[in-house]
Amino acid sequence: MRTGPPLLELQELRKAFGGVHAVRDLSFTVEEGEILGMIGPNGSGKTTTFNLITGFFPPDAGRVVLAGEEITGRPPYDICRRGVCRTFQLAKPFPDLTVLRNVTMGSFVRARDPQEAEARAWTWLAYVGLEGKARVLAKSLTTIDQRRLEVARALATEPRLLLLDETMAGLTPHECQEAVALVEKIRREGRTMIVVEHVMRAILAVSDRIVVLDHGLKIADGKPEEVAADPHVIRAYLGEGYRRA
Amino acid sequence: MQWTTIAQAVMTGILMGSIYALVAIGLTLIFGVVRIVNFAQGEFLMVGMYISYWLWRLFGLDPYLSLLITMPAMFLFGVLVYGVFFRRVIGAPDLAQIFLTVGLSIVLMNLALFFFTADFRSIRTPYGDLTVNLGGVILSVPRLLAFAGALLFGLLLYLFLWGTNTGKALRAVAQDREVAMLLGINPERMYWLAVGLGGALAGGAGALLLPFFYVFPTVGVTFVLIAFVVVIFGTLGNIKGAFLAAFIVGVAESLGILFAGGDMGLIVVFVILVLVLAFKPSGLMGA
Amino acid sequence: MPHLLRPQVYVPAGALAVLVILPHLLPNVFYIHILIMMFLFAALGGAWNLLGGYGGQLSLGNAAFFGVGAYASTLLVNFYNLSPWIGMLLGAMVAMLLSVLVGAICFRLRGAYFAIATIGLAEVLRLAAHHFRDLTYGAQGITVPFKGSAPLYFQFASKIPYYYIALLFMLGVILLTRRLERSRLGNYLVAIGQNQEAAEALGINSAWAKQQANFLMALITAFGGTFYAQYIYFIDPPSAFGLGLSIQIALVAIVGGVATVMGPVLGAVIMESLIQFTQIAFAGTSYGLELIVYGALLVVMILLRPTGLIGWVSQGYGAMLRNLPGGGLVEGVER
């Protein structure tokens, strides 16, 4: 891993909805070029963390720092322009637009004009393997293709930090392998990522480091092998009888 | 200005507020359960009002008695409107929902115009001109009766929604459709019920208005605009909020008319809307 | 193949030429009036379309901007003898300022609640125009002082100059919409209309994009208001700020086809024809029947074809172009 200031730093983030503490005193860092996996049971605060990082709502307390600059509470479009982009757990394609146009919307951020945006979009489509479906309407896509589209669109914004929210949920084992391959491909370019997943095998294999959340608190932070062996994690999430496959 | 004049305006506002509450509760119920904003809610009021009017005109039936006919009729009317129209735009984009109900509103208003002409009509009742004097404040009896009626319906609705299983099912669907389905509740039946209730409440409001308010084809328009403000102010989908907000809006309107003249009433109501949107868009009962 | 000989070019060019000559050929001034109304509403609907069709924010209060334009120019010419051409620009500026207010307060609302807020705004202005009768003559309305032929005062003795102005107005809006569609802003609006959250996550500043569309919409609509005042010579609160007008403006775009360049034009043609037809067919029977037809049309359209009628028309048009000389390479409409 590189040394130097971390690309992303969360400092004691706190967020509550009504009486529910979604995230409590959450702190961790993400180094440039690494893949950080984030796991935890449903409702442990993973998506809320993404929302806090990307500005969908501000934290009640704490800071989000990107490459030394504070981005806490900035609006989502600003954070995207600074280089952080996310996919959504429940995919949000632009349903009545073609796949190509969907991705083009993402590349506008870095392109000088609509023509350049479209040209760049083609390369991203090819990158994820969707170029054959460029003229298909997004609402007609299969689940795996919708996920590919989400990723392509996010990549089109050329983020320094890519946040993938349960990209593999509901995929067949074969499709999961394809998804893992794509994540590996992105990682080989040196792009930093935070990946949220439930598919344990995939995330343990792909991550350099893992953060485990439970009821909004961080209960583990370390290398995959360490985390998998951590008794707190096993109890909270993996279950007593888990063995590394 | 004497305090009695102000008290008068406040009381009138409270009385009118109860009517706004009926219309608004219907609106918020339909929104909460079916997720459709019913721009034709004012026309439900208008239709109910005309039904009661013609029952009086043709059969001499007292408006308060006519409620026994008007409200069930308007319930059925709501059910019909749901079945023929609303049902087809559940889950459709906003544009479709808005303009469907706007279209219905236009059709209903102009059907009334066509059949009944634009004439402002009113009825005569033996108690129509009676007033009571409460410590210097003079209140018209029909308005008091309307208030009492509205409170009664509000109470009945409350008992229904919080006390019966069907009512609770209705609230469950409004809160979380999926969970309600898991509990074995059929949301579709609740939609029929919600729109029927919305029709009955608005129609009832119309009948209660008749003794002291003119009926004419566009009477619903002002009421629905005020009802929308009440619904937003009271938090979307929240019945208790709508009830409370209705009285505040009624009083504000009344004071606006008192201090600045006839048109200012509605302007004050919209100023409330702007203030709510600017400072607390989630409404009185919002998080 | 030389550019001019392709049907995509010569058919519209021919149509335009016909429109230019038409007023001199029509037997009756009444037909010119109908065309003027069609052009006006095509422009107004096209303006609505910018924010409503492309951006997905459905305004039912555009009469607010229309009325501001109409009252501004009319009050200024009545009290200060200021040419309505200038009054039009001033009115448009006021309308744009108003649109900032609308955006700041209302853009956080979606769907029907935005619509309600805009209705409220237009109603407030209507009531204000009604109430402050020292300024606006209240319910009795204001007449534009008749000067006969006074081009510098935006008045013409015959309908024909009004026709050309309205035509230019409509063409301007059409060209603006076309340019917008291909621009960054236009794309942003489409994204926002499809899914605002996703658009924001991709770096699109949705509030600013919508506000820009809002500015354009307010400006164009206010221009329309001034034109109307100078053409009809009379305005009053309901005709300038009325809810019916706002609904009609939105309908033009919806019936024709939202988020398309020619949708509002088609919509204006249909709506105006419908209004005229029902007025003639039901002449003598009570008022209200044509509006029943109108409302019923809206209901039917929403249930059967919410994307508007332009889709059918453009397919037919495309087919026609392909069959004309030089038409081999006509493409369909792509989204």
- C285 pLDDT tier (thresholds 50, 70, 90): low
Q: Which are the contacts of B220, defined by CB distance < 8 A and separation ≥ 6?
A: B41, B42, B43, B44, B45, B46, B105, B109
Task: Flag whether C262 is in a domain.
Answer: no
- Of B129-138, B182-191, C205-214, the range with the highest mean pLDDT is C205-214
Q: Which of A121-125, B156-160, C158-162, C314-318 has the lowest mean pLDDT?
A: C314-318
Distance CA B212, CA C191 (A): 51
Q: Check residue C63 and give its pLDDT.
A: 96
At A85 the three-state DSSP class reads strand
Query: Is the pLDDT at C330 greater than 70, yes or no?
Result: no
The reply to whether residue B102 touches residue C60, judged by beta carbons under 8 angstroms, is yes
Q: Check residue B247 and give its pLDDT.
A: 96
Q: Check residue B182 and give its pLDDT.
A: 83
Task: Flag whether C183 is in a domain.
Answer: yes
Count of domains for chain C: 1
How far is C-alpha B255 from the chain's CA centre? 21
Kindly report, residue by residue over A129-179, the tens digit of the pLDDT.
Answer: 998 999 999 999 998 899 999 999 999 999 999 999 988 888 888 888 888
Reported as type and span, the H/E element at residue A203 is helix A200-206
The reply to whether residue B102 touches residue C110, judged by beta carbons under 8 angstroms, is no
Mutation for C interface: A105, A110, A139, most C CBs within 10 A:
A105
Task: Flag whether B283 is in a domain.
Answer: no
Q: Are A28 and A218 in contact (CB under 8 A)?
A: yes
- A240 pLDDT tier (thresholds 50, 70, 90): very low
Q: Which of A221-225, B32-36, C285-289 has the lowest mean pLDDT?
A: C285-289
Q: Which are the contacts of C141, defined by CB distance < 8 A and separation ≥ 6?
A: C234, C235, C236, C237, C239
Task: Flag whether C3 is in a domain.
Answer: no
Write out the two tokens for C180.
């917008």
Query: Is the pLDDT at A242 greater than 60, yes or no?
Result: no
The reply to whether residue B278 touches residue C116, judged by beta carbons under 8 angstroms, is no
Count of domains for chain B: 1
Query: Is the pLDDT at B180 greater than 90, yes or no?
Result: no
The reply to whether residue C131 touches residue B261, judged by beta carbons under 8 angstroms, is yes
Angle at C145 between CA C144 and CA C146, to 5 degrees: 110
Kindly report, residue by residue over C207-219, the tens digit of the pLDDT.
Answer: 999 999 999 999 9
Contacts B–C by Cβ distance under 8 A: 128
Of the candidates C184, C194, C334, the beta carbon closest to that of A95 is on C194
Q: Quick check: C298 contacting B, CB < 8 Å?
A: yes
- B151 pLDDT tier (thresholds 50, 70, 90): very high
Instruction: Give me the mean pLDDT over the C263-284 stretch.
Output: 84
Mutation for A interface: C197, C202, C307, most A CBs within 10 A:
C202
Q: What one-letter code names the amino acid at A10?
A: L
Of the candidates A78, A114, A135, the beta carbon closest to that of C184 is on A114
- What are residue A17's phi and psi, to 5 degrees? -115, 110
Distance CA A156, CA A184 (A): 17
Looking up tokens 């010579």 gives C233
Q: Which residue of A has its CA nearest to C187?
A: A105
Q: Check residue A108 and give its pLDDT.
A: 94
Mutation for B interface: C54, C254, C299, most B CBs within 10 A:
C299
Query: Is the pLDDT at C335 greater than 70, yes or no?
Result: no
Task: Flag whether A163 is in a domain.
Answer: no
Q: What percent of chain A has pLDDT over 90?
A: 46
pTM attached to this predicted model: 0.88
- C329 pLDDT tier (thresholds 50, 70, 90): low
Q: Check residue A3 and give its pLDDT.
A: 60
Q: Quick check: C188 contacting A, CB < 8 Å?
A: yes
Q: Quick check: C253 contacting A, CB < 8 Å?
A: no
Q: What one-letter code names the amino acid at B218?
A: T
Q: Which are the contacts of C68, defined by CB distance < 8 A and separation ≥ 6?
A: C91, C94, C95, C98, C125, C222, C225
Q: Check residue B183 and give its pLDDT.
A: 83
Task: Flag whether B67 is in a domain.
Answer: yes
At C21 the three-state DSSP class reads helix
Write out the two tokens for B283.
């409404």
Supply the range of the domain harboring residue B80: 18-239
Three-state secondary structure of chain B? CCHHHHHHHHHHHHHHHHHHHHHHHHHHHHHHHHCCCCCCHHHHHHHHHHHHHHHHHHHCCCHHHHHHHHHHHHHHHHHHHHHHCHHHHCCCCHHHHHHHHHHHHHHHHHHHHHHHCCCCECCCCCCCCCEEEECCEEEEHHHHHHHHHHHHHHHHHHHHHHHCHHHHHHHHHHHCHHHHHHCCCCHHHHHHHHHHHHHHHHHHHHHHHCCCCCECCCHHHHHHHHHHHHHHHCCCCCHHHHHHHHHHHHHHHHHHHHHHCCCHHHHHHHHHHHHHHHHCCCCCCCC
B51-71 burial: b if 16+ Cβ within 10 Å, else e: bbbebbeeeebbbbebbebbb
Looking up tokens 């309205």 gives C166
Task: Flag whether C322 is in a domain.
Answer: no
Task: Flag whether C50 is in a domain.
Answer: yes
Q: Could you tell me which residues are beta bridge partners of residue C155? A: C150
Write out the two tokens for C209.
């994009």
The four Cα atoms C323, C328, C329, C334 give a dihedral, to 10 degrees, of 30
Looking up tokens 């037909």 gives C31
Q: Check residue C283 and give its pLDDT.
A: 63
Q: Check residue B47 and give its pLDDT.
A: 96
Supply the range of the domain harboring residue C102: 28-242
Q: Which are the contacts of C223, defined by CB distance < 8 A and separation ≥ 6?
A: C43, C69, C88, C92, C169
DSSP β-ladder status, A20-30 and A8-17: antiparallel
Instruction: Give me the mean pLDDT over the C183-206 stretch.
Output: 93
Q: What one-letter code names the amino acid at A175?
A: E
Distance CA C68, CA B24 (A): 31
- C139 pLDDT tier (thresholds 50, 70, 90): confident
Q: Which of B8-12, B94-98, C43-47, C172-176 has the lowest mean pLDDT?
A: B94-98
The reply to whether residue B97 touches residue C111, judged by beta carbons under 8 angstroms, is yes
Kindly report, residue by residue over A66-123, the tens digit of the pLDDT.
Answer: 988 899 989 999 999 999 999 998 889 999 899 999 999 999 999 988 999 999 999 9
Q: Quick check: C47 contacting B, CB < 8 Å?
A: no
Of the candidates A85, A106, A108, the beta carbon closest to that of C184 is on A108
Three-state secondary structure of C26-44? CCCHHHHHHHHHHHHHHHH
Kindly report, residue by residue over C22-34, the tens digit of the pLDDT.
Answer: 988 888 889 999 9
Q: Check residue A123 and give its pLDDT.
A: 93
Task: Flag whether C108 is in a domain.
Answer: yes
Supply the range of the domain harboring residue A42: 1-77+192-245
Looking up tokens 């109908």 gives C34
- A2 pLDDT tier (thresholds 50, 70, 90): low
Chain C closest-CA separation from residue B219 CA (Å)? 14
Instruction: Give me the mean pLDDT over the A203-209 stretch.
Output: 87
Query: Is the pLDDT at C145 greater than 70, yes or no?
Result: yes
Q: What percent of chain B has pLDDT over 70?
A: 99
Write out the two tokens for C48.
């609505």
Chain C closest-CA separation from residue A241 CA (Å)? 40
Distance CA C103, CA C105 (A): 5
Chain A hits for C201, Cβ within 8 Å: 54, 76-77, 80, 85-86, 88, 92, 154
CATH number at residue A48: 3.40.50.300
Kindly report, residue by residue over B73-82, the tens digit of the pLDDT.
Answer: 999 999 999 9
Task: Flag whether A167 is in a domain.
Answer: no
Q: What percent of chain C has pLDDT over 90?
A: 50
Task: Flag whether C194 is in a domain.
Answer: yes
Instruction: Give me the mean pLDDT over the B99-109 stretch.
Output: 92
Kindly report, residue by residue over B223-280, the tens digit of the pLDDT.
Answer: 988 999 999 999 888 888 999 999 999 999 999 999 888 778 888 998 898 888 888 8
DSSP state, residue C328: T
| CA-based nearest residue to A49, from A152, A166, A182 | A166
Chain C hits for A137, Cβ within 8 Å: 335
Angle at B278 between CA B276 and CA B282, to 5 degrees: 55
Q: Which are the contacts of C277, defined by CB distance < 8 A and separation ≥ 6?
A: none
Angle at A136 between CA A131 and CA A140, to 5 degrees: 125
- C2 pLDDT tier (thresholds 50, 70, 90): low
Task: Flag whether B148 is in a domain.
Answer: yes
Looking up tokens 């593999």 gives A168
Distance CA B208, CA B254 (A): 19
- C332 pLDDT tier (thresholds 50, 70, 90): very low
How far is C-alpha C162 from the chain's CA centre? 16
Chain B hits for C117, Cβ within 8 Å: 273, 277
Distance CA B67, CA C5 (A): 72
- Of B165-174, B210-219, C214-223, C243-252, the range with the highest mean pLDDT is C214-223
Distance CA B98, CA C52 (A): 13
Contacts A–C by Cβ distance under 8 A: 81
Task: Flag whether B74 is in a domain.
Answer: yes
Kindly report, residue by residue over C101-137, the tens digit of the pLDDT.
Answer: 999 888 877 778 888 889 888 988 998 998 888 888 8
Query: Is the pLDDT at B179 greater than 70, yes or no?
Result: yes
Q: Could you tell me which residues are beta bridge partners of residue A26? A: A13
Chain C hits for B274, Cβ within 8 Å: 105, 120
Of the candidates B98, B228, B264, the beta carbon closest to that of C131 is on B264
Instruction: Give me the mean pLDDT over the C176-188 stretch.
Output: 94
Count of domains for chain A: 1
Query: Is the pLDDT at C225 greater than 60, yes or no?
Result: yes
* DSSP one-letter string for C37-93: HHHHHHHHHHHHHIIIIIT----S-THHHHHHHHHHHHHHHHHH---HHHHHHHHHH
Q: Are B268 and B256 in contact (CB under 8 A)?
A: yes
Write out the two tokens for C204.
């699109």
- A239 pLDDT tier (thresholds 50, 70, 90): low
Higher pLDDT, A54 or C27: A54
Q: What stretches of chain C adopt beta strand conformation (E)?
A: 142-143, 234-235
Q: Are B69 and B135 in contact (CB under 8 A)?
A: no
Q: Which are the contacts of A135, defined by CB distance < 8 A and separation ≥ 6?
A: A98, A99, A100, C334
